[in-house]
Amino acid sequence: MIKELFITVAVLAVFTSPSFGMAKDGCGAACNTCHSLTTKEATDLLKPTGASVLSIKESPSRGLFELLVQKDSQKAIIFIDYGKKHLIQGMMVDLAKLEPVSSHKQELPQQKQQSSIDVKSIPTQNAVVIGNPKGSKKLYVFTDPDCPYCRKGHEELKKLTKIAPDVAIYVMLYPLPMHPGAYDKARAVFETKNHTLLDNAFEGKEIPKPTKESSKKAIDENIKFANANGISGTPTMVMPDGKVEVGMRDAETLKRMLEGK
């Protein structure tokens, strides 16, 4: 029901940041009377990401600008704090209703909300398989090497391979548009399917640049599949029965889930 709820923590954390503040006497007026962000300013701030700014609005929560941005063919929502020091990626969740909220709801593409996926439709030819390739249980993980949650999750997947020897883990490299270096990293890893290179990518180490056009086709297919099936954040797991689980779990919990416990 909730995608990437952990992102909310990052959103809330900005309010304790030195870059978020108000006058000593408080702030009772409309936020835009004191705070503004022009398209040019936003474009300059986002230049390292390669994203273009489509629209800027006040976010549902005070203290943040909500931006609708696009990179390649993908649209996404990001937030920039009033201090213009921090970029926050993800969705904002209304704690009372436990549902996503956005000032750009009408402009966003309407994705199919799926709780399960036909695992036979997953383009596993584009995966890097870790664990036991012949394992009777299969776990599919859509992940981004530059996503901090995916990096922590990758360590749990490595632990899972040691405690669950009958599991094949299909690492579906899915670079998000706001991580400018992730696309080439995903391509480079796919070209060799080398596990050391895969680990290095998730550890933030320097890896070679991609050289083959076939890797572009493979990663683009992963992105297209994820978008078509409502997978908008990372990490997202698909269990052997097709159930979609947003976020990551620790290795022991994953083992129990795969065992149906």
**Residues 139-148 pLDDT 10s:** 999 999 999 8
240: pLDDT strictly greater than 80: yes
Instruction: Give residue-wise pLDDT tens across range 2-17.
Output: 333 333 334 333 333 4
Contact 229, 246 (CB under 8 A): no
Between CA 236 and CA 247 the distance in angstroms is: 5
Rounded average pLDDT over 49-63: 90
Residue 165, pLDDT above cutoff 50:
yes
Helix and strand counts by DSSP (H, E) for the chain? 7, 11
Cβ neighbours of 245 (radius 10 Å): 16
Which residues face 78 on adjacent strands? 67, 89
Ramachandran region of residue 36, left (φ > 0), alpha (ψ -120 to 50) or beta? beta
Are domains 6-101 and 119-258 of this chain identical in fold?
A: no
Cβ atoms 254, 131 nearer than 8 A: no
Summarize the confidence of residues 116-134 as an average pLDDT.
Answer: 97
∠2-256-164 over CA atoms, to 5°?
A: 120
Instruction: Categorize the per-residue pLDDT at 23 as very low, low, confident or very high, splitting at 50, 70 and 90.
Output: very low
Listed by start position, the domains of the chain span: 6-101, 119-258
Above 50 in pLDDT, residue 120?
yes
pLDDT bracket for residue 108 (50, 70, 90): low
3-class SS at 184?
Answer: helix
Mode of pairing for the β-strands spanning 244-246 and 52-58: unpaired
181-214 tens-digit pLDDT: 999 999 999 999 999 999 999 999 999 999 999 9
CATH of domain 6-101: 3.10.450.70
User: Which residues lie closer than 8 Å to 235 by C-beta, 6 or more apart?
Assistant: 141, 142, 143, 144, 147, 149, 150, 153, 247, 248
Conformation bin of residue 132: beta by default, left when phi > 0, alpha when psi is -120 to 50: beta
Query: Residue 7: what pLDDT?
Result: 39
Is it the case that residue 19 has pLDDT exceeding 60?
Answer: no
Whether the pLDDT of residue 113 is over 60: the answer is: no
Give the mean pLDDT of the chain. Answer: 84
Dihedral pair phi/psi, residue 16, rounded to 5° = -100, 0
Mean pLDDT across 131-142 = 96
**Given the structure tokens 């394992």, which residue do they identify?**
135
> 18-32, 88-102, 112-126, 205-219: which range is least confident on average?
18-32
Give the residue from 112, 114, 117, 155 showing the smallest Cα distance to 239.
117
Comparing C-alpha atoms, which of 141, 152, 160, 254 is closest to residue 202?
152
CATH architecture of 119-258: 3-Layer(aba) Sandwich (3.40)
Position 25 confidence tier, pLDDT thresholds 50, 70, 90: very low
